[in-house]
C-alpha cells in the first residue's frame, strides 16, 4: 500500500491530464519552496518568482526529453549557459535552486507524492534552522583603524595593547594622510571581550596622540558557494 503511494503515476507515455497534474504539483511545491526561502530572510521578488517556476520548467523539459539522448545533450548545454549568465548566489540560494530542480525532476518522472514529501521535509528543516542561531567564530572580530603621527614607529608600538585586549591582530593596510604627516593603519583584530573596548581605545589614544580611532564591524559578505 505504501509502495503504491510513492510509485510513479505514469510509466512510458504521459497524457495531457498527467502533464497538467504534474505541472500543478510542481507549481504548488515551487510556491512552498519560495515561501520557505523568504521566511525570516530578505529575498528579491525575482528570485522568489524563479523558485516558484523552476520546478514546473524543469519538469516540462525532462518530459520533453523523455529518453532522447540528443535532446538531453542539448538541454544540458542550455542549462550550462544559463548558469554562466547568472550572478553568484549565497549558499542558501544555491540550495534553494537545487531543491527546486530536484522537485521538478521528481514530478517529471511522475513521483508526485515522493516530491511532495521531499519538499515538506526539506522546507521544515530550513524553517527550523532559521530559528537556530549558530555561534560564529567571528563574533568578536573587528576592524581597527588608527591614525598616528608620522614620527611614531607603528611596527611594534601597540603590541602590548594587542596582547592585553585581543586574541589575534593583523595589520591590513597602511595609508598616508594630510600630505604625509599622518599614517592611517587598519588592523583586523579579534577581541577577548567587548566589555573592555572603551578601555582599549583610551589606551590607544595615549599612544597615538589622541588622533582618530575607529572600531568597526568587519565587512563580511554572506557565505557564497
Name the percent of the chain lying above pLDDT 90: 36
pLDDT at 45: 87
Helix count (H) and strand count (E) of the chain? 8, 4
pTM higher than 0.85, yes or no? Answer: no
Cα–Cα distance, 26 to 49 (Å, whole number): 13
CA 83, 84, 86, 89 dihedral sign is positive
pLDDT in tens, 29-75: 999 999 998 887 888 888 899 899 999 988 888 887 765 655 566 66
| Total residue count of the chain as it appears in this document | 225
Domain ranges of the chain: 2-131, 141-216
What topology is assigned to 141-216 in CATH?
Alpha-Beta Plaits (3.30.70)
Q: To the nearest 10°, report the CA torsion of 27, 31, 32, 36.
A: 150
What phi and psi values does residue 91 have, to the nearest 5 degrees?
-60, -40
CA 45, 96, 121, 28 dihedral sign is positive
- Tell which residue, 158, 220, 146, has the closest CA to residue 184: 146
**Residue numbers in the chain where pLDDT is lower than 50:** 84-85, 225
pLDDT at 62: 82
Strands (E), the chain: 141-149, 166-177, 182-191, 213-216
Amino acid at each position: 500500500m505504501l509502495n503504491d503511494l510513492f510509485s510513479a503515476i505514469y510509466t512510458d507515455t504521459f497524457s495531457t491530464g498527467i502533464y497538467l497534474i504534474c505541472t500543478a504539483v510542481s507549481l504548488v511545491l515551487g510556491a512552498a519552496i519560495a515561501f520557505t526561502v523568504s521566511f525570516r530572510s530578505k529575498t528579491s521578488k525575482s528570485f522568489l518568482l524563479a523558485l516558484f517556476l523552476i520546478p514546473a520548467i524543469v519538469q516540462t523539459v525532462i518530459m520533453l526529453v523523455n529518453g532522447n539522448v540528443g535532446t538531453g545533450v542539448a538541454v544540458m548545454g542550455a542549462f550550462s549557459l544559463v548558469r554562466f549568465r547568472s550572478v553568484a548566489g549565497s549558499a542558501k540560494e544555491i540550495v534553494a535552486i537545487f531543491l527546486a530542480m530536484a522537485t521538478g525532476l521528481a514530478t517529471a518522472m511522475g513521483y508526485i507524492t515522493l516530491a511532495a514529501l521531499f519538499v515538506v521535509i526539506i522546507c521544515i528543516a530550513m524553517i527550523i534552522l532559521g530559528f537556530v542561531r549558530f555561534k560564529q567564530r567571528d563574533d568578536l572580530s573587528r576592524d581597527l583603524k588608527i591614525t598616528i603621527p608620522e614620527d611614531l614607529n607603528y611596527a611594534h608600538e601597540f603590541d602590548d595593547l594587542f596582547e592585553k585586549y585581543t586574541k589575534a591582530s593583523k595589520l591590513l593596510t597602511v595609508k598616508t594622510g594630510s600630505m604625509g604627516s599622518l599614517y592611517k593603519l587598519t588592523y583586523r583584530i579579534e577581541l577577548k571581550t567587548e566589555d573592555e573596548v572603551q578601555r582599549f581605545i583610551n589606551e590607544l589614544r595615549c599612544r597615538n596622540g589622541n588622533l582618530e580611532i575607529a572600531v568597526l564591524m568587519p565587512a563580511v559578505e554572506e557565505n557564497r558557494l
